[in-house]
Amino acid sequence: MSKVTVKDLDVKGKHVIVRVDFNVPHKGDVITDDNRVRAALPTINYLTENGAKVLLLSHMGKVKTEEDKAKNDMAIVAKRLQELQSAPVTFVPATRGEELEAAVKAQEDGTIVLMQNTRYEKGESKNDPELGAYWASLGDLFVEDAFGSVHRAHASTVGIATHLPSALGFLVEKEVNVLGKALNDPERPLVAILGGAKVSDKIAVIENLLKIADKVMIGGGMSYTFSAAKGGKIGTSLLEADKIELANKFMEEGGDKLILPVDTVAANDFSNPTEIITVKAGEIPDGFMGLDIGPETVALYQKELAGAKTVFWNGPMGVFEDERFAKGTIAVCETLANLEGATTIIGGGDSASAAKNLGFAEKFSHISTGGGASLEYMEGKDLPGISIIPEKE
């Protein structure tokens, strides 16, 4: 797949609408992690340096009430954006109307207007045709650079692109190239590590990766449904009883390719345990719940990862927010960070947080900026925000 990119557009003197992902974590007016703003800078800087008039659109948080609106006001991002680059930034606290139109009309080449949170508009998430057409009327060109939102057919990701010449920004282009190669033309062996709480969250990706990966390793809360499917005792561990049949199907189809935990760290309480034990998989006593993979599983996974040339990781191995149950996730993270000669990809979400918090982010080949989008990509799904961008001729 070779999509039109921002470099294929003639942007000088043009109004370029860019869908970015400025959905940053924040406490009040303080942004606690500005990585998403920084990730958008290559595309923004390219456009301003080449004389474009840039209009940035992004959502932030969920907006259902007036309180949500106040909490997710994009003004805090405008301030940070101005600190991170040199082009003038004007923040418009509106999503349509005279104030926004006047600000765009008054723009000079090489300047930026950041619009208010797109989710202030109810039609955004419904891909309202009128809203998409209105936003498109503010620009000459559209650039999609919000990978974290391309799996959603919203007015700002798909609606605008139906009306304007469109292209991928550098961030989305990189995601498509890295994930596309891992999915369609990986250097082998290709190993996938999938963790997290529920099988139901990962059904399609497990199904697809079992077809294309050389090994698929399972960890986290969802491993206990597999353990139960094998007839094991899982105590009070997380169980999706309605997915036992599916787990059996995966084990049958996966055979030796599907690798499951062989031991687990369990506790007698989730929040305030008085007893923490390590037991064989499928031998968790009554009243105990599995909260991390055990040391034998860590050793097994390290052995299976030796020699891997492409690794995709999504989802922690346990309740890594609690240091007592973080050893499995830390071990996987360290192993991947030091895996020489391999392309190591983190599919966003909690795995990305773990790598950053542990100080290993720089050692990974690629950390996706969109957990949901990267998973859907690895499922082999079409992502509407990418599909709408034309192929190069």
By annotation, the residues acting in catalysis are 36, 198, 349, 372
> Tokens 């968790």 correspond to what residue?
284
The sign of the CA dihedral 273, 276, 280, 284 is negative
- Alpha carbons within 13 A on the beta-carbon side of 11: 31
Nearest to 377 by CA among 347, 354, 355, 346: 347
Interatomic CA distance for residues 144 and 43, integer angstroms: 10
Are the CB atoms for 272 and 323 separated by under 8 Å?
A: no
Tokens of 129: 């045709």
Please list the helix, strand and coil fractions of the chain in percent, rounded to the nearest 5, in that order. 40, 20, 40
Report helix, strand or coil for 365. Answer: coil
The amino acid occupying position 252 is: E
- Strand pairing report for 30-31 and 190-194: unpaired
Interatomic CA distance for residues 362 and 383, integer angstroms: 27
Tokens of 302: 């390290």
Interatomic CA distance for residues 79 and 74, integer angstroms: 9
Are the CB atoms for 365 and 177 separated by under 8 Å?
A: no
DSSP string covering 227-259, please?
Answer: HHHTT-EETT----GGGHHHHHHHHHHHGGGEE
Interatomic CA distance for residues 261 and 225, integer angstroms: 12
- Dihedral, CA of residue 33, residue 34, residue 38 and residue 43, to nearest 10: 120
Whether residue 189 has a cis bond before it, omega within 30° of 0: yes
- Alpha carbons within 13 A on the beta-carbon side of 392: 11
Interatomic CA distance for residues 273 and 268, integer angstroms: 5
